[in-house]
Structure 1
């Protein structure tokens, strides 16, 4: 099993690099295949190796990965219509909600003092990001607020797993959640505020890292 999992890591890295290259070279036709393959490979990987997890953890995690895959597909076409960006936003919001459900199942009450501190720090970050974005959002102001709250909630619930799961599992998942926030922050700043050089590489690199760490973290859990 270990050999096959290591083989997957190699394939996953190859798929990510392929998408980074096609995106950098603006090969939009090829990106219709390379970008979805990243999440599709994680979905299949988790589907095969996550069966030993509790049934709710397994089912909701698969659902989160599926919503992420749909979000990736919708955002491929956001240059054609604002509708695709909104659909992508909704899909990823649903992914964050289902990830949060998984983390709550595995975690402890989110009202512990330490967790409240983490929530406060993340809220400060989210508020700062929104202040930077707000003058550029127009009709997307409320959807973006809801989305920011959704991804912050996902990160807080990821932290709630501390001391409730295998330490490696906790670290991988929480770091993955932070990478998810970083990826979406770069994407939002690039889309609404200022063009960031190499934004595609930064966004997809941090996004792929986030999803991979979350998946490996969930698989590292010892039920």
Structure 2
């Protein structure tokens, strides 16, 4: 059973920690700060978090005045940050920047998660370098179990969809990579050219889309943080 006892201190750090420092809470806030509003989409950003615990954390944040839960025009509940929640943006992003600067990179690359990687890539992808038509880019991670090897990004103008099953469109570019290499590129720890030269990344399809991958991939919002040595 999870312990939720308070710290019993009047210090604002203590009081804030009682709200923000329970397991998964900062990751739920990360998803909300990235613009995710629906329960099922929040789950895609924290795929290892149980639905019951996600629901519990959202209710806790709602009680704390950090999250507002309101039905949309279709009656589906959406979650939005309140003014207090939005005020957490520099704090949560600061934690991510600190992690990028000071957490040893090889330690980060042990925590590989294809679902989170592809979901992050989907929401940060830059469609400008791509052709002005629907583009389908398939990613294959051969070392993963069959059910988790394939992902499809479907880009149509400014809309980007992520599919875990074949959407039925012609594939413009097939990207075959190790999960570690693609995660390293996404996090700014490597670049496309280096992984291609190392034989860890291969393309099959439109050469123009392939050559522009470093530009359309978008990268993690923390990728440009300079690395430090702890």
TM-score w.r.t. length of structure 1: 0.25
TM-score w.r.t. length of structure 2: 0.24
Greater gyration radius: 2
- Structure with the bigger percentage of strand: 2
- Structure with the bigger percentage of helix: 1
